[in-house]
Structure 1
Amino acid sequence: MNVQPIGVFDSGVGGISTLKKLSQLLPNEQFIFYGDSLHAPYGDKTIEEVYNRSKEIVDYLLTKNVKAIVIACNTATSAAKERLIRDYPELPIIGIEPALKEAIDQGEKHILVLGTQLTMNLPKYQKMVTKYAHTHTIHSVACPGLAEYVESGMNQPQLLSQLLDEFLGKYQDKELEGVVLGCTHYPFLEKEIRTYLTTNISVHTGYQGVARQLQHLLQEKQQLNQNNSKGAVTLLGSKPKEIPYYQQLFEFF
């Protein structure tokens, strides 16, 4: 049981950023990543559409005999995780969520959260913002087009400059202590986002929390891989021709 792989999926290439961190923090584990680039992005779909795609991917990963699932997509976590947990009660399912609480726990009072429209609109995120709104200044910014930029190869700097101007322009002069990258595509643009705002700003991704939760659940079920050898990473996706790009990003990140 311990040597079974861990399934990781995302709406596209973004989840590779999470996958890389998981493979570094749990180096003995085997991972199978599935990127749903054919249906990216998830951020402009309905909750039901995101849930249906997520369930199809989980069913596919189960044919690969995975012992746990990591939803490496903030939007899919927000829209589908709770239903998937009910659908598969014996399967450990962990999701990545906007790391707003992480920023707050570090004492930051002025926080910029970047994410998809669907993630920002869902009640779970709105409830958290409301909870801390009286003590913190939280700017929630939906960034349509930013995930697509990463999916398309990140080779149009002028387009990226236009997108950053559109989404972040009015925050350059605001007091900010931290920025939450609430979509797993965005960490591939961390350098550019830091430079646009200020290089001193704290950046939060949520990777550490996901890795700790995954490790804890596997320990509880006595399913941690005890082998001393380094685990392998298998990259799969709904657009097989994109796999070389997946590999490139995995090595880049």
Structure 2
Amino acid sequence: MKQTTTDNSAAIGVFDSGVGGLSIAKCIAQQLPHENIIYIADSRHAPYGEKSVDFIIQRVNTMAKLLLAKGVKALVIACNTATVNAIEQLRAQVNIPIIGVEPAIKPAAKQSISKKIAILATQATSENQRFKDLIDRHHNGAQIFIQPCPGLVEFIEQGQQHSPACNALLRQYIEPLVKQGIDTLVLGCTHYPFIQQQISVIAGQQVNIIETAAPVTQQLMKKLAENNLTAGKTQQGQTQFFSSLATKQQEQIFSQLWQAPLTLQPLKE
């Protein structure tokens, strides 16, 4: 799978199990307006959060191969579950920069005054050893509450994130954490920024919410610069969108989350 490109006008490949990674891709597009982006959603298999490790690794490698075939110069795994389960083995196979997404435990531990932090995550992330090791390294003496959130990703994938049922599920997950006295809440899945407003209302003003789009974009900028892959200023970046489940309904959900009309192309595996 190894591939190296020295073409700084080549696209950045971004992929996720579904629409969640759009929160990362949007930040990249805003911060790096001269970069081309190819976004792939593996929506036929979303969410990864309830899948086996072997299955996640197989899908991550398939998505990476498809993006490498399109000549991308860097890969962003815009999915927490895919990052913790599959990034190390992918880095061993690929030469181009690979940036993953990890919950922002380190900044949360620095900021927290009550030293009580909660992380909202998928089932697969919450059970992953790499994720647990990350907490052990960066908790800085804080008490960490890990809250698996089955069902949330599905609501967002179906465009039902503002439904009463989604709000009821959020309350079920967040209210017990607030009662524990948390003052910082980490969004440990790239889908969750799309429900950040609802999370904030339930958690209350005293709880600081941290997500990962900005630090991931910063890391990408750093890696592009280190490898002389930053796009020239004359180029106006374009974003292409692909999905393994490209329906009209999904195209509407993509457009709604991207906050602009877009064309969703079918992914040919």
TM (norm. structure 1) is: 0.94
1:73 to partner: Cα distance = 0.2
Structure 2 letter corresponding to 1:186: Y
1:94-173 equivalences under 5 Å are 94-108=99-113, 109-131=115-137, 135-154=141-160, 157-173=163-179
1:161 to partner: Cα distance = 2.4
Question: What SS class does the counterpart of residue 236 from structure 1 fall into?
Answer: strand
Partner of 1:185: 191
Partner of 1:227: 233
Contact 2:105-2:138 at 8 Å conserved across structures: no
Larger mean Cα displacement after TM superposition, 37-46 or 161-170:
161-170
Structure 1 letter corresponding to 2:233: N
Partner of 2:8: 2
Question: What SS class does the counterpart of residue 164 from structure 1 fall into?
Answer: helix
- Kindly indicate whether residue 255 of structure 2 is the aligned counterpart of residue 250 of structure 1: no
- Kindly indicate whether residue 259 of structure 2 is the aligned counterpart of residue 237 of structure 1: no
Alpha-carbon distance between aligned partners in 2 of 1:31 and 1:170, rounded to the nearest angstrom? 39
Contact 2:106-2:138 at 8 Å conserved across structures: no
Contact 2:187-2:193 at 8 Å conserved across structures: yes
Percent of aligned pairs with the same amino acid? 35
Cα 1:103–1:133 shift into 2, 3 Å:
closer
Alpha-carbon distance between aligned partners in 2 of 1:207 and 1:97, rounded to the nearest angstrom? 10
1:244 to partner: Cα distance = 3.2
Structure 2 unaligned spans of 5+ = 1-6, 261-269
Cα 1:60–1:133 shift into 2, 3 Å:
closer
Cα 1:68–1:117 shift into 2, 3 Å:
same
Cα 1:93–1:155 shift into 2, 3 Å:
closer
Structure 1 letter corresponding to 2:104: A
Structure 2 letter corresponding to 1:18: I
Contact 2:15-2:77 at 8 Å conserved across structures: yes
Structure ranking higher on relative contact order (CA contacts 8 Å, 6+ apart): 1
Structure 2 letter corresponding to 1:94: I
- Kindly indicate whether residue 39 of structure 2 is the aligned counterpart of residue 33 of structure 1: yes
Aligned pairs, number: 251
Could you tell me which of 86, 91, 96 is aligned with 1:91? 96
1:230 to partner: Cα distance = 3.0
Contact 1:146-1:163 at 8 Å conserved across structures: yes
Alpha-carbon distance between aligned partners in 2 of 1:134 and 1:107, rounded to the nearest angstrom? 10
Deviation per CA, 1:160-209: give whole Å up to 9, x if none: 12211321231233322211000011100000000001134211112222
Structure 1 unaligned spans of 5+ = none
Partner of 1:48: 54
TM (norm. structure 2) is: 0.88
1:223 to partner: Cα distance = 0.6
1:51-62 equivalences under 5 Å are 51-62=57-68
Partner of 1:210: 216
Alpha-carbon distance between aligned partners in 1 of 2:131 and 2:78, rounded to the nearest angstrom? 17
Question: What SS class does the counterpart of residue 166 from structure 1 fall into?
Answer: helix
Deviation per CA, 1:43-98: give whole Å up to 9, x if none: 0111110010010011111121111100000000001100000011x111110111
Question: What SS class does the counterpart of residue 130 from structure 2 fall into?
Answer: helix
RMSD: 1.6
Cα 1:114–1:221 shift into 2, 3 Å:
same
- Kindly indicate whether residue 179 of structure 2 is the aligned counterpart of residue 176 of structure 1: no
